[in-house]
Amino acid sequence: MKKTGVRGLAKATGLSVATISRVLNNADNVNKQTRERVLNAMREVGYAPNPAARALATSRTKTIGAVVPTLAHSIFARFLNAVERELAQHGYALVIATTEGRPEAEERRVGELMNLGAEALILSGAEHSKALLDGLVGRGIPAVCTSVCETNNGLPAIGYDNAVIGEAAIRHLAEVGHRSVAVVHGPVSDNDRTRLRISGVERGARATGVSVSLRESTLDVEGGVAAAQQLFGDIADVTAVLSLSDVIALGVLFEADRRRIAVPDELSLMGCDDLDWSAHSAPPLTTVRLPTARMGICVAQSLVRHLDHGDSIESVRLEASIVERNSVRRPRRHALSAARPA
């Protein structure tokens, strides 16, 4: 079919080019009959608006960029899926870039997204380089920080209080009866969310009299296995392991099973995230459920209201919750002092 442009639609309908443009841009000052007349003509001739031409004409790309550390973990996929679904309902597209947690990569990817015409940006965490923040201000690009509920950089934040999450987790183990807990966490450099969770754990430990030992690992199953190998090799009085990420907890669970350490009879295990598989592991994992999907919807709605109507983007704190399953129980004895050899 021969491609028809705006002028062709005007000729086919007997309307002006300006009226056709108002219909295509969803302007309010077009009556229902005129709008239907244009839409029917579009269907008849197979018209589809050229996105590049529309962007030039309206100075709008209807594109939002999201910069995340990785797509390898399902927690980011869950968040981005919620963002994309909500944006699509308002005619926006989502473009995703990953950084592998490197600040220099984040600066580069943010610049690339701005050059592609992103009208707003979604960033992970509260800590970002001065060059990145200055670039946003210089280009007039709105941005929102996620997975945190406050920042010191002037950007709004939509997410949860990571320190409160860490404190709630250690308090839960204390209430069950655990007094010596090993805490396994991901890298703390360039990750403010992990540092905040650790600070909450330490605060809760002081308040409850729980002894905690911190162990850093890579943020993956392999890291959990490696941390567990070291932990189980020590003669310790630990009765519970708190992992500040479910993927690390899975590695700990695998190593415990390999050494025939029964969870939770000999060792309790608690995670954080509530990933899709957490309810189906053996045993099902007690964890902290993060409001990841709700965060995605809230971020998308806030950005759309700002871009389409000029509403200010406000910081929002969403609440996490503890999900009790079967991997935590009251301690019977010091499990790791009787750990099986590798």
Domain tally for the chain?
Answer: 3
- DSSP letter at 286 equals B
Do 124 and 47 sit in the same domain of this protein?
Answer: no
Pairing, β 287-289 against β 321-323 = antiparallel
Assigned domain for 276 exists: yes
pLDDT value of residue 235: 62
Provide the CATH number for the domain around residue 167. 3.40.50.2300
Low-confidence ranges of the chain (pLDDT < 50): 1-2, 56
Determine the pLDDT at residue 337. 57
Residue type, 10: A
How much is the pLDDT for 8? 80
Question: Do 138 and 240 belong to one domain?
Answer: no
Residue range(s) defining the domain that contains residue 17: 6-58
For residues 206 and 241, state if they share a domain: yes
Q: What is the pLDDT of residue 1?
A: 33
* Residue 176 and residue 258 in one domain: yes
Last residue of a domain, one of 58, 78, 94: 58
Assess whether 275 and 176 both reside in one domain.
yes
Q: Let me know whether 249 and 186 are in one domain.
A: yes
Residue at 1 is within a domain:
no
**298 inside domain:** yes
d(CA 327, CA 268) in angstroms, rounded, equals 6
Say if residue 206 is in the same domain as residue 277. yes
pLDDT value of position 185: 97
**Confidence at residue 183, expressed as pLDDT on a 0 to 100 scale:** 98
Give the pLDDT score at 65: 97
pLDDT at 146: 97
Residue 130 lies in a domain: yes
- Angle, vertex CA 40, rays to CA 38 and CA 46, nearest 5: 100
Cα 269 to Cα 260: distance, rounded to the nearest angstrom: 14
Other beta carbons within 10 Å of 271:
30
